[in-house]
Structure 1
Amino acid sequence: MKTKQFKTNINCSGCVAKVSPILNPLLGEDHWEVDTTNKDKILTVNIDNLDEEMLVEQVTNAGFKIESLTQNQ
């Protein structure tokens, strides 16, 4: 399974709760996590067939910033 990381501004449990209804159906409940203790609020996604464009669009539409930290593999 491939891992992809994104810098976000998802910075608290309330923010995670806000994006959960978006990310769970898109990625799967156990296929993502946000490290809110990291200064860059790293969203890590574990999925082989990631539609990165859709992910960025959905997170942005939820009111958060997101940018890729890793190259496509």
Structure 2
Amino acid sequence: MKTKQFKTNINCSGCIAKVTPFLNPLLGEKQWEVDTANKDKILTVPAENLDEKTLLEQVKNAGFKIELLTENK
């Protein structure tokens, strides 16, 4: 599955809980993850049918910073 990764400032379980209501409706439950152990707090999402603009807006609406890092296979 192809994924896209984004650098964020989502850095703890409380932050993940705050962003969940914004991401689950957009991506689906358990279809995204944040690596809070990584210094760049990497958000990984499936690339298929991703509306990147909406994703960026939703994360910002939740109060977090986000920028595209890479596309992976």
Q: How does 1:1-73 map to 2 (within 5 A)?
A: 1-71=1-71
Where 1:70 maps in the other structure, the secondary structure is: strand
TM-score (norm 2): 0.92
User: Structure 1: which amino acid aligns with 2:63?
Assistant: G
Identity %: 78
Greater share of strand: 2
User: Structure 2: which amino acid aligns with 1:7?
Assistant: K
- Matched-pair contact (CA < 8 Å) for 1:4–1:46: yes
Shift of residue 61, structure 1, vs aligned partner: 1.0
Where 2:70 maps in the other structure, the secondary structure is: coil
Structure 2: unaligned runs, 5 residues or longer: none
Please tell me the root mean square deviation across aligned C-alpha atoms, in Å: 1.7
Count, aligned residues: 73
Shift of residue 17, structure 1, vs aligned partner: 0.1
Structure 1: unaligned runs, 5 residues or longer: none
Distance 2:19 2:45 in 1: 13
- Matched-pair contact (CA < 8 Å) for 1:27–1:47: no
User: Structure 1: which amino acid aligns with 2:44?
Assistant: T
Shift of residue 47, structure 1, vs aligned partner: 4.0
Shift of residue 2, structure 1, vs aligned partner: 1.9
Q: Over residues 25-72 of structure 1, what are the superposed CA-to-partner deviations in whole Å (9 max), with x where a residue is unaligned?
A: 10011210000000000000024000000000010011100000015x
